[in-house]
């Protein structure tokens, strides 16, 4: 069909859609990621600073945990969101290194920016980065030191060193000796088969000193809502029998749409009596088991509370599901959904039960549990924001200890492993020709961002210390890293600054994958639909003949 010799305008994307592509778009994405990196830079290391974040509802958070900061920043740039995702992935996979992985990914992009501006294909850059990452991971496996798990004393020392290193950059680093033993004890109580960290309960009670924090070798949960008669119940037992229920022990009014038709008043009384008879049968059945403590996920009403009080039985209803699961793990037995046919093997036991005042709250504590595969940390501290940061710090340390048990290979921290990998990759790059030599050398330079930033955050002369590190690593001193005590360098393996090798390998793999993914994006299409949802298209995924607006 003839259009008068003019090519018609073909509209594919709706009006208001913004489409940008090419080298400028790639550089724009890199700049956004570098901005994220700049935000997290000051928080790295034992002398890093914290960030105060004020949410939309006025809630304040003080933290130096990379994953927490990025989650609260509410990043909207589609490429920068990838850094948020790798930080979260690092947090869920190994628990620590969330700041390192983000800074490393940002530095890889910063090093690649010069190549992109000079017109080097992003495919060549990503190929070089992937090769360098593979070499680095293999080198970590070669260098990592295995700690023998057969010797319990040495193995415990390994776990304590790893926990101490994880806490060195946190708010609680001054109290790391106090918390290190607590964290290792907590993880070692778990079942070695799965090491489910969710079975380590963490309770927060404002007030008191941070060193008032309690380690409960068993379960502690806050006193539940109680009815009249509760104060008459005993609050302490030795070797009690414990029954855990998922049963409601309460007289309930019939639902609004229930209808009962009676002819005589006596029939109505029979219905009322039957309702009372049902709950009394349940209570007698529980009493017959010989249980001293009755816990239920569902309410225990005033009638049942008074009934148990008259018989010197302690009861607590509306126990949180996670607390009840940890009680079962600690005392044994099983949760019962009926009061009939409860057998002795369904009951649990512990050495001691007591109700104790902790700060402004009352807590129920079950301790001395022979079958314990769980424990509870009751955190104390002045401000709620402080206690919340202590919880995040302990979570990181717990995850590090867990990974050290599962994978007992360690490397030296404090920038030592990064400097050794940098030296190795720089030497390797000299053995190959072409653009790959420059790209692998750039990857090696990017790894130096970790020790350099550690020095900058501590106020040291980063250039001077990095020169010393390069010299020592060139002489074969593989574990030489930053020494924060003498403001110089030292052998961090001998100084017991240890980290699980898994933390470093996971951080390198995640950072490289994120950098390669961002470099592969060549076009961004933003739809102006009020939600500002953006889609990104990888290079090569768009047909060259795709109609433009």
Spans of all domains in the chain: 17-146+412-527, 152-217+383-407, 218-371
Note the pLDDT tens digit of each residue in 196-249.
888 888 998 888 888 888 888 889 999 888 888 888 888 898 999 999 999 888
List of long-range contacts for 531-535, beta carbons under 8 Å, 24+ apart: 532/76, 534/78, 535/78
pLDDT band of residue 375 (cuts 50, 70, 90) is confident
**Exposed/middle/buried for 312, CB within 10 Å: 0-12, 13-18, 19+?**
exposed
What fold does the segment set 17-146+412-527 form as a domain? Answer: GROEL; domain 1 (1.10.560)
Per-residue confidence (pLDDT) for residue 147, from 0 to 100: 78
Higher-confidence residue: 192 or 222? Answer: 222
Residue range 89-99: mean pLDDT, rounded = 83
Closest CA to 438 of 125, 154, 150, 178: 125
Residue range 320-328: mean pLDDT, rounded = 89
- 3-state SS class at 526: strand
pLDDT at 256 over 70: no
Q: What are phi and psi of 486, to 5 degrees?
A: -100, 0
Half-sphere exposure of residue 423: CA atoms within 13 angstroms, side-chain side? 21
pTM above 0.75, yes or no: yes
- 3-state SS class at 292: coil
pLDDT at 283 over 60: yes
Residue range 344-361: mean pLDDT, rounded = 88
Per-residue confidence (pLDDT) for residue 450, from 0 to 100: 93
Residue 55 vs residues 59, 72, 73, 96, 118: alpha-carbon distances, Å: 5, 7, 8, 24, 41
Per-residue confidence (pLDDT) for residue 176, from 0 to 100: 82
pLDDT at 304 over 80: yes
What fold does the segment set 152-217+383-407 form as a domain? Answer: GROEL; domain 2 (3.30.260)
Mean pLDDT of the chain: 84
pLDDT at 396 over 90: no
What percentage of the chain carries pLDDT values higher than 90? 26
Per-residue confidence (pLDDT) for residue 383, from 0 to 100: 81
Per-residue confidence (pLDDT) for residue 542, from 0 to 100: 40
CATH of region 218-371, choose from 3.40.50.720, 3.40.50.2300, 3.40.50.980, 3.50.7.10: 3.50.7.10
Check: CB of residue 524 under 8 Å from CB of residue 541: no
Residue range 85-93: mean pLDDT, rounded = 87
Check: CB of residue 191 under 8 Å from CB of residue 373: yes
- In angstroms and rounded to an integer, the radius of gyration of the C-alpha atoms of the chain is 31
Residue tagged 């229930």 (tokens): 258
Residue range 260-266: mean pLDDT, rounded = 77
Note the pLDDT tens digit of each residue in 403-428.
888 887 889 988 999 999 999 999 99
pLDDT at 547 over 70: no
Per-residue confidence (pLDDT) for residue 528, from 0 to 100: 63
Check: CB of residue 219 under 8 Å from CB of residue 323: yes
Residue range 249-259: mean pLDDT, rounded = 64
- How many helices (H) does the chain have, and how many strands (E)? 16, 22
Per-residue confidence (pLDDT) for residue 59, from 0 to 100: 84
Strands 200-206 and 314-316: unpaired
Q: Which residues contact 428 (CB under 8 A, 6 or more apart)?
A: 135, 440
Higher-confidence residue: 537 or 14? Answer: 14
Q: Which residues contact 510 (CB under 8 A, 6 or more apart)?
A: 86, 89, 90, 101, 105
> Which H or E run contains 242?
strand 241-245
3-state secondary structure 76-103: CCCCHHHHHHHHHHHHHHCCCCHHHHHH
Distance CA 177, CA 352 (A): 28
Distance CA 426, CA 448 (A): 11
pLDDT at 540 over 50: no
Distance CA 375, CA 41 (A): 35
Per-residue confidence (pLDDT) for residue 445, from 0 to 100: 94
pLDDT band of residue 467 (cuts 50, 70, 90) is very high
Higher-confidence residue: 258 or 234? Answer: 234
Per-residue confidence (pLDDT) for residue 4, from 0 to 100: 53
pLDDT at 5 over 80: no
Check: CB of residue 518 under 8 Å from CB of residue 29: yes
Least confident of 347-356, 365-374, 397-406, 540-549: 540-549
Per-residue confidence (pLDDT) for residue 107, from 0 to 100: 94
Residue tagged 């190959």 (tokens): 432
pLDDT band of residue 527 (cuts 50, 70, 90) is low
Q: Which residues contact 7 (CB under 8 A, 6 or more apart)?
A: none
Least confident of 291-305, 394-408, 504-518: 394-408
Higher-confidence residue: 517 or 265? Answer: 517
Angle at alpha carbon of residue 328, lines to 325 and 329, rounded to 5°: 90
Higher-confidence residue: 19 or 356? Answer: 356
What is the distance, to the nearest Å, from the Cα of residue 103 to the centroid of all Cα atoms in its chain?
18
Strands 375-381 and 214-216: antiparallel
- Give the Cβ contact number of residue 28 at 10 Å: 14
Residue tagged 């680095």 (tokens): 136
**Exposed/middle/buried for 86, CB within 10 Å: 0-12, 13-18, 19+?**
buried
Per-residue confidence (pLDDT) for residue 543, from 0 to 100: 37
246 token code pair:
């998922």
pLDDT band of residue 529 (cuts 50, 70, 90) is low
| Range with the largest mean pLDDT of 237-241, 521-525, 529-533 | 237-241
pLDDT at 86 over 70: yes
Check: CB of residue 102 under 8 Å from CB of residue 85: no
Beta bridge partners of 454: none
Per-residue confidence (pLDDT) for residue 264, from 0 to 100: 78
pLDDT at 532 over 50: no
473 token code pair:
């690593």
> Which H or E run contains 133?
helix 122-143
Strands 51-54 and 534-538: unpaired
Per-residue confidence (pLDDT) for residue 544, from 0 to 100: 35
> Which H or E run contains 327?
helix 321-331
Residue range 100-109: mean pLDDT, rounded = 93
Per-residue confidence (pLDDT) for residue 384, from 0 to 100: 84
pLDDT band of residue 486 (cuts 50, 70, 90) is confident
Check: CB of residue 363 under 8 Å from CB of residue 273: no
466 token code pair:
């990095």
Residue 378 vs residues 118, 338, 387, 435: alpha-carbon distances, Å: 57, 32, 10, 56
Residue tagged 């990452």 (tokens): 133
């Amino acid at each position: 069909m003839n259009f008068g010799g003019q090519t018609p305008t073909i509209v594919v994307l709706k009006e208001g859609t913004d489409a940008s592509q090419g080298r400028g778009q790639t550089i724009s994405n890199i700049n956004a990621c570098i901005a994220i990196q700049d935000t997290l830079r000051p928080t790295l290391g034992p002398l890093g600073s914290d960030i105060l974040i004020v949410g939309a509802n006025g809630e304040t958070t003080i933290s130096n945990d990379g994953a927490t900061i990025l989650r609260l920043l509410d990043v909207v740039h589609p490429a920068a969101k990838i850094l948020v995702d790798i930080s979260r992935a690092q947090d869920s996979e190994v628990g620590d290194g969330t700041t390192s992985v983000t800074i490393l990914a940002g530095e890889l992009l910063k090093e690649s920016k010069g190549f992109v501006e000079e017109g080097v294909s992003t495919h060549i850059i990503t190929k070089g980065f992937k090769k360098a990452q593979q070499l680095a991971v293999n080198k970590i496996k070669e260098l990592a030191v295995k700690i023998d798990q057969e010797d319990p004393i040495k193995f415990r020392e390994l776990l304590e060193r790893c926990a101490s290193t994880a806490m060195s950059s946190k708010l609680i680093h001054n109290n790391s000796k106090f918390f290190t033993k607590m964290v290792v004890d907590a993880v070692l109580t778990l079942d070695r088969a799965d090491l489910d960290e969710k079975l380590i309960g963490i309770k927060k009670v404002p007030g008191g000193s941070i060193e008032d924090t309690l380690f409960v070798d068993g379960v502690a949960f806050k006193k539940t809502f109680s009815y009249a008669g509760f104060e008459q119940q005993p609050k302490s037992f030795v070797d009690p029998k414990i029954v855990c229920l998922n049963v409601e022990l309460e007289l309930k009014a019939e639902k609004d749409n229930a209808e009962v038709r009676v002819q005589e008043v006596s029939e109505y009384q029979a219905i009322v009596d039957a309702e009372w008879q049902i709950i009394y049968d349940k209570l007698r059945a529980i009493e017959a088991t010989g249980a001293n403590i009755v816990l239920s996920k569902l309410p225990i009403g005033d009638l049942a509370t008074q009934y148990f009080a008259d018989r010197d039985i302690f009861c607590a209803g509306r126990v949180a599901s996670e607390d009840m699961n940890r009680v079962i793990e600690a005392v044994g037995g099983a949760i019962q959904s009926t009061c009939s046919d409860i057998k002795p093997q369904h009951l649990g036991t512990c050495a001691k039960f007591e109700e104790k005042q902790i700060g402004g709250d009352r807590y129920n504590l079950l301790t001395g549990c022979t079958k314990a595969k769980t424990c509870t940390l009751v955190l104390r501290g002045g401000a709620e924001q402080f206690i919340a940061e202590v919880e995040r710090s302990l979570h990181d340390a717990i995850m590090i200890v867990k990974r050290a048990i599962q994978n007992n290979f360690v490397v030296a921290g404090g920038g030592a492993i990064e400097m050794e990998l940098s030296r190795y990759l720089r030497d390797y790059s000299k053995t190959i020709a072409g653009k790959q030599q420059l790209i692998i050398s750039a990857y090696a330079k990017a790894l130096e961002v970790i020790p350099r930033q550690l020095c900058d955050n501590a106020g040291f002369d980063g250039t001077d210390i990095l020169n010393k590190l390069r010299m020592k690593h060139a002489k074969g001193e593989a574990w030489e890293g930053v020494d924060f005590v003498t403001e110089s360098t030292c052998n961090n393996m001998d100084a017991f600054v240890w980290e699980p090798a898994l933390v470093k390998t996971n951080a390198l793999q995640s950072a490289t994958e994120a950098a390669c993914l961002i470099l592969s994006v060549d076009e961004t299409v933003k739809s102006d639909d009020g939600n500002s949802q953006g889609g990104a298209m990888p290079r090569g995924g768009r047909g060259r003949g795709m109609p433009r607006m």
